[in-house]
Structure 1
Amino acid sequence: MAGLKHTLAALALAWAVWLPQPAWSDSPPPAPAMLLAEVYAAEVDVTQYWVSEKFDGVRAQWDGRTLRFRGGGSVPAPGWFTAGFPAQPLDGELWIGRDQFDALSGAVRKIEPVDAEWRQVRYLIFELPGAAGNFSERIRLMQEIIAQAGVPWLQAVGQTRVADRATLMKQLDAVMCAGGEGLMLHRADAPYIAGRSDALLKLKPWQDTEAVVVGYVAGKGKYRGMTGALTMEMPDGKRFRIGSGLTDALRRQPPPLGTRITYRYQNLTKNGLPRFPRYLRVREDFQGNTLRNR
């Protein structure tokens, strides 16, 4: 009898191991490995790079089956939006237009997508994750794949070469005057490398990064009864305040504690704190959050 019990127990254990484990809805998928940019420096040889506009959109990666935010959560896009996408993984920005980030964010984060809003969205592709060859070769492959897909809102980001730094800065001025955010420089001979390296550089008149909301400062004067500033914590634990850039709506209902936000700043002080920080937005693409319709 004891032998039979041991045999049954072993079979039960084997069966439990063999059975597929449930995919719990509260366990987010791992964030996709993405190419990340370093900051451009004046000594960089710009003739070795392709140059494109830096789009102020929502980063998203297509893995061949699912469109995902930077944080790993799936983008609640309508089925028709991704129906014609290729099997080749894609990396790019969901984008509506310059100075349209709030409209874009409102559209792409609703659990129930609104077709009329998504009809305005484009998916601008700048990389092919895992593809062979250098970036110059991948540009040609990107163009071929996108042309073959024939999806109007699936578009390759335009890439150009510049002869020198002066030409690069003129291109930056033109983009900024048109309401753009800056430029991206992608090294022509670079293989696809996930992570942060000099294969991809960003060039903007200011710097931006993320910090976490850890407190609030009460408003004074016309902001009495509202939030005067957000207390922010940097990855190294340093704290500072952001008041500039907060709208009246945000002052009445500030981001919850623990929210990661993107802010811009001129440079760092000798104490390592951002100089002239200005609130830009909640960094939901990093957190993988999704907002309900409202």
Structure 2
Amino acid sequence: MPAFAELLERLVFTPGRNAKLALLGQWFAEQPDPDRGIGLAALTEELAFTAAKPAVIREIAAERTDPELLRLSYDYVGDLAETVALIWQPRAGVNAPPPTLSEVVETLETAPKPEVPALIAGWLDTLDAGGRLALIKLVTGGLRVGVSARLARVALAEWSGQAVEEIEEVWHAVAPPYVPLFRWLEGAAPRPDPRDAPVFRPLMLAHPLEAADLAALRAEAWRAEWKWDGIRVQLTAGPGGKRLWSRGGEDISGAFPEILAAMDFHAVLDGELLVVRDGEVAPFADLQQRLNRKTVTARMRRDYPAAVRLYDLLVEGTEDLRPLPFDARRARLEAWHARAAPARMDLSALVPFDSIEALARLRDGARAASIEGLMLKRADAPYVAGRTRGLWWKWKRDPLTVDAVLMYAQRGHGKRSSFYSDYTFGVWREDGELVPIGKAYSGYTDEELAWLDRWIRSNTVNRFGPVREVERGIVFEVAFDAAQLSSRHKSGVALRFPRIARIRRDKPVEEADSLAAVMALVENRPAAD
């Protein structure tokens, strides 16, 4: 456990990607099995302990300290795990060695629920502050040290010398603590064979199309599709089972059982998950009602019917089609879809054009059609993992902007954990009330972040746990892709992909935009009666 605590601390205070990869490689090389695999599973959020919820941590902490002191400390620190790690008072006379990582995991997986609080308290007594923080983060989830599952697989590739694409294709066929995976990567065993298991294949990604790239395009060499405003998914089905994967390889099958039920085939497909009513694509805000849910109600499925618009056919039966050019894969996809006729799935139509100028005019009309833009795919391009420049381009419509007032701020994570870097902003309603329309945590420089952090600390007017309400004194120019109706916001509207374009120090807050102006930008808005 101390070694894992040291790894987490170093990852938190190591912002650089290459430095994080080096730290992970060192962990893989130096830690024994099963600890290195358990650490890997924890970092990639593959561990979950149902009996060790944050409420349990709060209760055992309250037994060791004054509840009011705990409340005030938590309000100041803003993170429960960090608060308890710092305030914890070990029992006198405890001389037991700290637990190993595998001991913690194996014990929690088998311990009866009533015994869990005493187990955690006993372990906390044996650890220092850093170890206590690591333990609490481990058992409650959400390590937030800037390591994604993709970064972890890249680290495995760099450490072992194997291609990351090879690792990704067996990743979901090996369960934590990944002993067969590590044995293969060290050359001590053959590559794990996923056989017919529904494993994730790395997706092919596109580069944003810039003016210089556009000038070099020849219309006859490219194919175009609309860029639909949903989430990219992969459908994998066969004798070994079926799964619906997000673009990052996360299993989201449980949130979309109707899609899973329709996957009565042996193939791997690439597509866009959408909410579709009567053949019309609903705003992304509707799809958000279904995302990040382990289970969904019948009413949710009725009100937000999910569908997949298919882009590509990667594997048909046991035949890997990815080396084929796009035109050949497209023909195979159309023939497969005509035969299989899967429910809740249609084809993303190819957009006809005879010149790049004609395509540009189509792209200019994308906003009126509530479409994100265009995807351009080279006719002879194979399907390759990752973002290979020159094969696929995404040509999004130009963003919209709004001037909004900073309302609330919250500390970030990782290298930004000491800064107020997550900002909620709003616009003026007719009655003079400021109502929130979104949240952003990108688009500013390090110098601007430092300035904003100082201003927020000096202009806080209220506290709600980790959230700080501030004086109405700063206007942001916020760029976003679309405005959509949202019942989750008091304003009734939410922004798609908001980011800070600039800080409007020149603009009084009274001159920020109105809610009516934002509502005028809403797409797919129901017509007035």
Cα distance in 2 between the residues matched to 1:78 and 1:229: 26
Cα distance in 2 between the residues matched to 1:264 and 1:230: 8
Cα distance in 1 between the residues matched to 2:361 and 2:296: 39
Gap change, CA 1:149 and 1:29, over 3 Å in 2: farther
5+ long unaligned stretches in structure 2:
1-32, 49-140, 151-199, 315-319, 401-411, 413-419, 450-475, 503-517, 519-529
5+ long unaligned stretches in structure 1:
1-15, 256-260, 269-278, 280-294
What is the letter of the counterpart of residue 421 of structure 2?
V
- Over the aligned positions, Cα root-mean-square deviation in angstroms equals 4.2
What is the TM-score of this pair, normalised by structure 2? 0.39
Secondary structure at 2:367 match in 1: helix
Aligned length: 244
- Residue in 1 aligned with 2:363? 172
Cα distance in 2 between the residues matched to 1:217 and 1:118: 30
What is the letter of the counterpart of residue 82 of structure 1?
L
- Residue in 2 aligned with 1:62? 235
Q: 2:259 aligns with which of 81, 86, 89?
A: 81
- Residue in 1 aligned with 2:218? 45
**Larger helix fraction of residues:** 2
**Larger strand fraction of residues:** 1
What is the letter of the counterpart of residue 127 of structure 1?
D
Cα distance in 2 between the residues matched to 1:228 and 1:207: 16
Q: 1:156 aligns with which of 344, 347, 356?
A: 347
What is the TM-score of this pair, normalised by structure 1? 0.65
Cα distance in 2 between the residues matched to 1:218 and 1:155: 38
Cα distance in 2 between the residues matched to 1:47 and 1:237: 44
> Does the CA-based 8 Å contact 2:227-2:374 persist in structure 1?
yes
Cα distance in 2 between the residues matched to 1:173 and 1:30: 36
Gap change, CA 1:124 and 1:217, over 3 Å in 2: closer
- Residue in 1 aligned with 2:391? 199
1:67 to partner: Cα distance: 0.4
What is the letter of the counterpart of residue 340 of structure 2?
A
Q: 1:109 aligns with which of 292, 302, 316?
A: 292
Q: 1:216 aligns with which of 423, 426, 437?
A: 423
- Residue in 1 aligned with 2:313? 128
Pairwise mapping of residues 248-263 of structure 1 onto structure 2 (< 5 A)? 250=489, 262-263=497-498
1:160 to partner: Cα distance: 3.5
1:190 to partner: Cα distance: 0.1
Higher relative CO (Cα under 8 Å, sequence separation at least 6) belongs to: 1
Cα distance in 2 between the residues matched to 1:228 and 1:144: 45
Cα distance in 2 between the residues matched to 1:122 and 1:232: 31
- Residue in 2 aligned with 1:232? 441
> Does the CA-based 8 Å contact 1:38-1:201 persist in structure 2?
yes
Deviations 1:92-137 (A, max 9, x none): 1111244521111202433222345446221011123462310000
What is the letter of the counterpart of residue 350 of structure 2?
Q
Deviations 1:139-159 (A, max 9, x none): 011122222322231122111
What is the letter of the counterpart of residue 288 of structure 2?
S
Cα distance in 2 between the residues matched to 1:156 and 1:218: 38
Q: 2:336 aligns with which of 135, 145, 155?
A: 145
Gap change, CA 1:231 and 1:53, over 3 Å in 2: closer
Cα distance in 1 between the residues matched to 2:288 and 2:427: 30
Give percent identity, aligned residues only.
20
What is the letter of the counterpart of residue 203 of structure 2?
M
